[in-house]
Amino acid sequence: MAMPLTTTHRVFNFSSGPAVLPEAVLREAQRDLFEFPGAGMSVMEMSHRSKPFDRILEGAEATLREVAGIPDTHAVLFLQGGASLQFSMLPMNLLTAGASADYVITGVWGEKAIAEARKVGAVRVAGSTEAGGFRRVPRQDELDLDPSAAFVHVTTNNTIYGSQWRAMPDVGSVPLVVDASSDIFSAPMDVARYGVIYAGAQKNLGPSGVTLVIVRKDLLARSSPSLPTMLNYAVHAEQGSRYNTPNTFGIYILGLVAAWMRAEGGLAALGVRNARKAATLYAEIDRTGFYRGHAEVESRSLMNVTFRLRDESLEDAFAKAATAEGLDGLKGHRSVGGLRASMYNAFPEAGVEALVHFMREFERTHG
């Protein structure tokens, strides 16, 4: 029996993740969902060791390497478990016996990362902005870095507080490791500078369920054979991300997103567009004082714009009215309240313009 057709209406999705995907990617996936070209079956049905999936996985990696400038010195892994598993997996692989690692804490995710690392080995807090409510990232002169550390861990962008590193700190010769889940490839990135970059895919790269890990190949030697197999970077690198069955459909979508990024002009063009979107919204927040930004100006995120109303009692009404107007996902994280507009790579500029128009109308009627 055929299912009845329904009329759909896509809203502007400001959710922090899982987040908006490029419309072109969704349409291509929809077209190929029933039968992937040349395979006679859906991507969700094919073996992860089949030749059609070989093309999908190898194509996704090759396109990512091209778009992001990932050098041959780094392995690209498609894993599972999200960034939260990397909080444990990273120190298990890189924090060798007798060594210590430095963590810079700029929000909840950094706190969670160091809490898991403490279960593995010795760690130090090399810098923190907790005392100021995580409204900014530290200055270089505020960091207490150990030149003999196994690695330095930084969270590049803080979804909850709306702060972002505009430039990575200088950590000398120590491997720089970053959780880039919420701003990965939102602008050009010198991948060669990093020991490890990891990110859950569900914000800028694809659907939830895929975790991208980019690791410098020389660091794979630190992965001890005594580690559980599924937690060993070296094993996953040797097996081409297919020691076990990976998230095949998620990798397929990630490959489509990488191709979309290339078609949009690459990371440089996306960076310009993302900066323009954020500047438009911050200008409205700063315009009259009816709204106020949470993060300090020099640390403001281009991905997650966090703000409050001067009269905080109006915030629930704002979020509900915005949702009714097709502006979804604007309520702030439950731990800090307020409002948050997440605007990742695929979020359209028309959505920012619609939000600004709504904000002005809300101010007119409630100001």
Q: How far is CA 239 from CA 54, 103, 246, in A?
A: 13, 30, 11
* Tens digit of each residue's pLDDT (9 = 90 or more) over 55-83: 999 999 999 999 999 999 999 999 999 99
Identify the residue whose tokens are 């950094």.
110
Q: In a 3-state reduction of DSSP, which class is residue 321?
A: helix
Q: DSSP E strands: which ranges in 217-315?
A: 291-293, 304-309
Report the percentage of the chain scoring pLDDT > 90.
Answer: 96
Looking at 244, 263, 282, which one is the last position of a domain? Answer: 263
Judge whether 10 lies within some domain.
no
pLDDT reported for residue 3: 52
Tokens of 24: 């072109």
* 293 domain-assigned: yes
Measured between alpha carbons, how far is residue 96 from residues 11, 209, 227 in Å? Answer: 48, 28, 12
Any catalytic annotation for residue 179? yes
Identify the pLDDT of residue 334: 84
Which runs of consecutive H residues, i.e. helices, occur in 34-190? 51-68, 82-94, 108-118
User: What is the per-residue pLDDT for 161?
Assistant: 97
Mean pLDDT computed over 115-130: 98
Q: How far apart are the first and last CA of the chain?
A: 54
Same domain, 111 and 162: yes
Mean pLDDT of 43-64: 96
Residues 266-283: pLDDT tens digits?
Answer: 999 999 999 999 999 999
Q: Which amino acid is at 359?
A: M
**Structural domain includes residue 3:** no
Instruction: Give yes or no: residues 177 and 294 share one domain.
Output: no
Catalytic residue among 102, 165, 179, 183: 179
Residue 259 resides in a domain: yes
> How far apart, in whole angstroms, are the C-alpha atoms of residue 11 and residue 323?
9
Question: DSSP assignment, residue 300?
Answer: B
Does residue 225 sit in the same domain as residue 84?
yes
**Same domain, yes or no, for 221 and 82?**
yes
Is residue 5 one of the residues assigned to a domain? no
Domain that holds residue 62: 27-263
Contact 209, 201 (CB under 8 A): yes
Do 237 and 282 belong to one domain? no
Dig out the tokens for 248 from the structure. 């095949």
- Condensed to tens digits (0 to 9), the pLDDT of residues 178-209 reads 999 999 999 999 999 999 999 999 999 999 99
Query: What residue type is 253 in one-letter code?
Result: I
Q: Which two tokens stand for residue 260?
A: 């979309």
Q: Residue 45's domain is classified under what CATH number?
A: 3.40.640.10
Q: Please tell me the distance from the alpha carbon of residue 88 to that of residue 96, in angstroms, as a whole number.
A: 13
Whether 336 is in a domain gets the answer yes
Joined together, the tokens standing for residue 33 give 């969902």
- CA of residue 234 relative to chain centroid, distance: 23
Out of 102, 109, 328, 331, which one is annotated catalytic? 109
Over residues 84-105, mean pLDDT: 97
> In terms of domains, do 213 and 187 share one?
yes
Q: Which two tokens mark 167?
A: 């430039």
Does 164 lie in the same domain as 294?
A: no
Establish if 16 belongs to a structural domain.
Answer: no
The total of structural domains in the chain comes to 2
Say which residue the tokens 């899982």 belong to: 18
User: What is the rounded (10 degree) CA torsion for 64, 69, 72, 73?
Assistant: -120
pLDDT value at 4 more than 60 = no
Q: Determine the pLDDT at residue 6.
A: 55
Q: Last residue of a domain, which of 234, 263, 292?
A: 263
CATH of the domain at 298: 3.90.1150.10
**Res 367: pLDDT:** 84
State the chain's mean pLDDT as an integer: 96
Per residue in 16-40, pLDDT tens?
A: 999 999 999 999 999 999 999 999 9
Confidence of residue 1 (pLDDT cuts 50, 70, 90): very low
Please check whether residues 163 and 310 belong to one and the same domain.
no
What would the two tokens of residue 220 be? Answer: 């794979």
d(CA 67, CA 61): 10
Catalytic residue among 102, 165, 183, 203: 203
Flag whether 60 is in a domain.
Answer: yes
Examine the residue annotation and report whether 109 is marked as an active-site residue of this protein.
yes
Question: Which pLDDT does position 8 carry in this prediction?
Answer: 62
pLDDT at 7 over 60: no
Domain boundary residue, one of 212, 240, 263? 263
Q: What residues does 306 pair with on adjacent strands?
A: 340
Examine the domain organization and report whether 207 and 145 are in the same domain.
yes
User: Are the beta carbons of 274 and 252 closer than 8 angstroms?
Assistant: no
Q: Average pLDDT, stretch 138-145?
A: 98
- Please report which confidence band the pLDDT of residue 335 belongs to, taking 50, 70 and 90 as the band edges: confident
Query: For the residues 227-238, what does the mean pLDDT come to?
Result: 98
Pair 60, 156 in one domain? yes
204/311 same-domain check: no
- pLDDT tens across 145-174, in order? 999 999 999 999 999 999 999 999 999 999
Mark whether 102 and 132 lie in a shared domain.
yes
